[in-house]
Structure formats: C-alpha cells, structure tokens
Amino acid sequence: GAVVSQHPSWVICKSGTSVKIECRSLDFQATTMFWYRQFPKQSLMLMATSNEGSKATYEQGVEKDKFLINHASLTLSTLTVTSAHPEDSSFYICSAIPTGSRGKSYNEQFFGPGTRLTVL
C-alpha cells in the first residue's frame, strides 16, 4: 500500500511552453502533498506544500506564478511549470502524507517516482 504515482515520468518541451505534472496517491487519501525539485547530483529541495482545498505554501525563492500548484482532490495534486526555460530542467518529485493514521505515528511521506523535465 501507500503508492504514489506521477505522470508523465519524463517530458521534453520547448522553451516558453507550459508543462503539467500530476501526482496521485493511488491507495490512500492525502490532505497534504509536497513538491520537490532535484538537480543532478544534488539533494531534494522543497518547492511547496500542496494543501487540498486551499492555496499552496511556497518556499522562499520559489515563484508561485511560475510553478502553479492545484490540489483539487484528496488524491491528486498538479504542478504546472509555466513558460518553462532550460534552467527549469530538473527532476520533479512529489510526496504525500496519508490522511489519518496508517499505523505510523511519524507521518511518513511517500514519494512518487519523479518526473524528468527537459526544456530545450
């Protein structure tokens, strides 16, 4: 159980276009999801916290108008990279925390498989 999927797994787009990445919790509901970005040979950097039914909370330095987050249901959050540029090329990973208790007291985050974005 506790599977998180992301779609697409990889995408190549032209500079200036927008790209939408979906994050789904397949067998649980998640009030809170997180979006991370990971550049090659670097660690995960938290971009924003996605909250179902309310606005996302962005980390310092992350442009909310460029990285649009929509958490429309308890199983789906989307990240849209608007007007993508080559410097946005990265590995985008989402994670989700199951709503309610699943036998773990420490609110483990379950990670999706990631989406590799390449902007030409």
- The residues binding another protein (CB under 8 A) are 4, 32, 34, 36, 41-46, 49, 91, 93, 97, 106-114, 116
As measured in angstroms, the least distance from the Cβ of 116 to another protein is: 7
Whole-angstrom Cα distance, residue 75 to residue 31?
Answer: 8
Q: Which amino acid, one-letter code, is at 61? A: G
Q: Which CB sits closer to another protein, 18 or 29?
A: 29
Q: At its nearest, how many Å lie between another protein and the CB of residue 109?
A: 6
Q: Which one, 83 or 107, has the nearer CB to another protein? A: 107
Smallest distance from another protein to CB 83, Å: 26
What ranges make up the beta strands (E) of 52-97? Answer: 57-58, 67-73, 76-81, 90-97
